[in-house]
């Protein structure tokens, strides 16, 4: 399989499962309505693990422009592949979000809160404060990349590493996700936000483009910083 296609499919799977659980928790009339933050974090972690299992041997399973750029900045990935990977990731995220919209079809109409509908697709801050929100996303993503790098140098039973990375996502979500919803991935937020803006979602409201730059810039800055810090220390 072409690595760009692998990144597209892996990110699509990640978003289908990750945003699928958010939809189940926040939309009205689902079996999992109000299941809570722990449910969301665990499902996101499992989604990451499954996506890595699916395409890790083909593309390296970056699934995240912040990781792709961090690896390129530290000479662990070829620069000529960066744009293709990032575009594939955003396209995969857009497609995954569209599938979530289709899957939860009847629930959009019975959910009156527009902010809950947007929450299925993209992140939003608990308290809107641009500098604080940017720092949250940057620090959480710096930890993500730093940890992925030190996980990578450890020996695990074959096939266990994707599960360890999934647990890392759960830990970041539970510990550092409460301020902004832990995008920690520009594609995860941007692709679905575009889907929210384009799709005919019943009563959807604004796509909140004024906030959209934070879950893009924050993770990119944080990811590169985490990778450079790892190189500096080790």
pLDDT of residue 45: 98
pLDDT of residue 209: 98
pLDDT exceeding 70 applies to what percent of the chain? 100
pLDDT exceeding 90 applies to what percent of the chain? 96
pLDDT per position as a tens digit, 186-226: 999 999 999 999 999 999 999 999 999 999 999 999 999 99
If you average pLDDT over every residue of the chain, what do you get? 97
Average pLDDT estimate for 37-66: 98
pLDDT of residue 155: 83
pLDDT of residue 158: 75
Q: What band does 153 get if pLDDT is binned at 50, 70 and 90?
A: confident
- Judged against a pLDDT cut of 80, whether residue 8 lies above it is answered with yes
- Judged against a pLDDT cut of 80, whether residue 157 lies above it is answered with no
pLDDT of residue 156: 81
Domains contained in the chain, number: 1
| Cα–Cα distance measured from residue 123 to residue 146, given in angstroms and rounded to the nearest whole number | 22
pLDDT of residue 17: 98
Structural domain for 86, as ranges: 3-233
Q: What band does 80 get if pLDDT is binned at 50, 70 and 90?
A: very high
Domain of residue 206, CATH code: 1.20.1080.10
């Amino acid at each position: 399989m072409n690595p760009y296609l692998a990144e597209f499919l892996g990110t699509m799977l990640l978003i289908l499962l990750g945003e699928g659980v958010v939809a189940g928790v926040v939309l009205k009339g689902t079996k999992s309505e109000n299941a809570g933050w722990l449910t969301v974090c665990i499902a996101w972690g499992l989604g990451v693990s499954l996506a890595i299992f699916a395409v890790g041997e083909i593309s390296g399973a970056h699934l995240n422009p912040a990781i792709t750029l961090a690896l390129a900045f530290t000479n662990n990935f070829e620069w000529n592949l960066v744009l293709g990977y990032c575009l594939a990731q955003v396209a995969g995220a857009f497609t995954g979000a569209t599938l979530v919209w289709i899957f939860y079809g009847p629930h959009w109409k019975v959910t009156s809160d527009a902010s809950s509908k947007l929450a299925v697709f993209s992140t939003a801050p608990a308290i809107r404060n641009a500098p604080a929100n940017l720092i949250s996303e940057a620090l959480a993503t710096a930890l993500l990349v730093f940890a992925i790098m030190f996980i990578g140098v450890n020996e695990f039973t074959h096939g266990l590493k994707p599960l360890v990375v999934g647990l890392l996502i759960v830990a970041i979500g539970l510990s550092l996700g409460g301020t902004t919803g832990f995008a920690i991935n520009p594609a995860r937020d941007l692709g679905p936000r575009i889907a929210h803006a384009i799709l005919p979602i019943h009563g959807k409201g604004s796509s909140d483009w004024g906030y959209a730059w934070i879950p893009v810039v924050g993770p990119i800055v944080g990811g590169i910083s985490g990778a450079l810090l790892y190189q500096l220390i080790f």
